[in-house]
């Protein structure tokens, strides 16, 4: 069996978009994908509105901690998905890079975060279909 693909989600604070994306990928793909998330300037905590929006979807990210983006994290990932962090993600040959233009949930209430959460889910579902589809019987 081939090694499972690995995905790194990167946003500036690793407190909203990248945390929600990592949680969706873990929830929807299970152990078929290795999941990481990081930020170029990590916040002290995950955005409470993102935590609540994900809780509404049945996913608990309340114990997640924003992590700093490292060269190793990028190097060890097959796919790097950036979300509004500009050019801070190091580029390595042979890696796949995607840039998802998504609104930043920082400073927004849960009502404004829900559509961001739902858009991230759609994009994660599309990514799973490409890199780790359900095994056929």
**Per-residue pLDDT tens over the stretch 15-29:** 999 999 999 999 999
Query: H or E stretch including 70?
Result: none
* Percent of the residues in the chain that have a pLDDT greater than 90, as a whole number: 80
**Per-residue pLDDT tens over the stretch 63-94:** 999 999 998 998 999 999 999 766 666 677 77
Query: H or E stretch including 118?
Result: helix 110-131
pLDDT band, very low/low/confident/very high, at 40 (cuts 50, 70, 90)? confident
* Single pTM value for the model: 0.93
Break the chain down into helix, strand, coil percent, rounded to 5. 40, 15, 45
User: Which residues does the annotation mark as catalytic?
Assistant: 11, 85, 89
Ordered strands of the 6-11 beta sheet: 34-39, 6-11, 79-82, 96-99
* 3-class state of residue 7 by DSSP: strand
């Amino acid at each position: 069996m081939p090694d499972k693909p690995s995905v790194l989600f990167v946003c500036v604070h690793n407190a909203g978009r990248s945390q929600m994306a990592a949680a969706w990928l873990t929830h929807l793909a299970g152990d078929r994908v290795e999941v990481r998330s990081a930020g170029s300037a990590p916040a002290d905590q995950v955005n409470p509105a993102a935590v609540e929006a994900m809780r509404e979807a049945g996913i608990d990210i309340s114990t997640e901690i924003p992590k700093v983006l490292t060269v190793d994290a990028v190097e060890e990932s097959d796919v790097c998905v950036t979300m509004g962090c500009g050019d801070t993600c190091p580029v390595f040959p042979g890696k796949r890079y995607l840039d998802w233009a998504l609104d930043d949930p920082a400073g927004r209430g849960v009502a404004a975060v829900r559509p961001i959460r739902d858009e991230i889910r759609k994009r994660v579902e599309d990514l799973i279909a490409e890199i780790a589809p359900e095994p056929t019987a």
